[in-house]
Structure 1
Amino acid sequence: KGAAECGVETEKIVLGEYKVNPCLGHDNCSSFAKCKQEDDVPWILEKYCQADGVILGSPVYYYNMTAQMKAFVDRNYFLYRHDITPKATCAGLVVVGGGAGLDHTVRALRRFLKLSFDVPDERLVILTGYASKVGDVKNKQPLLEEARKLGRRLAEMLGQK
Structure 2
Amino acid sequence: MGEKWIAVVGSPRRGKNTDLMVDYVIEGLNEKSIRVDKFFLSSSNISTCTGCEQCIKTGTCIIQDDVTKIIDNMKNADGYIFASPSYNYNMTAQMKSLLNRTFCLNDYSNGWESRLSPEKKAIIVGVCAGKTKEYMGYTVEGISKPLSELGVKIIDIIEYYNTKYISVINNDNIRGKTIERIRNLTEF
* TM-score w.r.t. length of structure 1: 0.81
1:36 to partner: Cα distance? 2.0
Q: Deviations over 1:16-74 (max 9, x none)?
A: 12112111112232344642213111111011121111111110011100111101100
**Contact 1:59/1:66 (<8 A) preserved:** yes
Report whether the alignment pairs 1:152 with 2:180: no
**Contact 1:58/1:94 (<8 A) preserved:** yes
- Equivalent residue for 1:3, pick from 2, 5, 29: 29
Report whether the alignment pairs 1:78 with 2:112: no
How many aligned positions are there? 153
Q: How does 1:38-49 map to 2 (within 5 A)?
A: 38-49=64-75
- Specify the SS of the correspondent of 2:122: strand
| CA distance in 2: counterparts of 1:86 and 1:7, whole angstroms | 21
| CA distance in 1: counterparts of 2:56 and 2:98, whole angstroms | 18
- Equivalent residue for 2:77, pick from 31, 34, 51: 51
Report whether the alignment pairs 1:108 with 2:139: no
- Specify the SS of the correspondent of 1:157: coil
- Equivalent residue for 1:127, pick from 151, 158, 168: 158
1:91 to partner: Cα distance? 1.5
Structure (1 or 2) with the greater helix fraction: 1
User: Judging changes above 3 Å, is the alpha-carbon distance between structure 1 residues 40 and 132 closer, same or farther for their aligned structure 2 residues?
Assistant: same
**Contact 1:51/1:86 (<8 A) preserved:** no
Structure (1 or 2) with the greater strand fraction: 2
| CA distance in 2: counterparts of 1:35 and 1:74, whole angstroms | 11
Supply the RMSD in Å over aligned alpha carbons. 2.4
Report whether the alignment pairs 1:16 with 2:42: yes
Runs of 4+ aligned residues of structure 1 deviating over 4 Å after TM superposition are none
Structure of greater relative contact order (alpha carbons < 8 Å, 6+ residues apart): 1
Gapped regions of structure 1 (runs ≥ 5): none
Identity across matched positions, percent:
27
Which stretch shifts more, 60-69 or 99-108? 99-108
* TM-score w.r.t. length of structure 2: 0.70
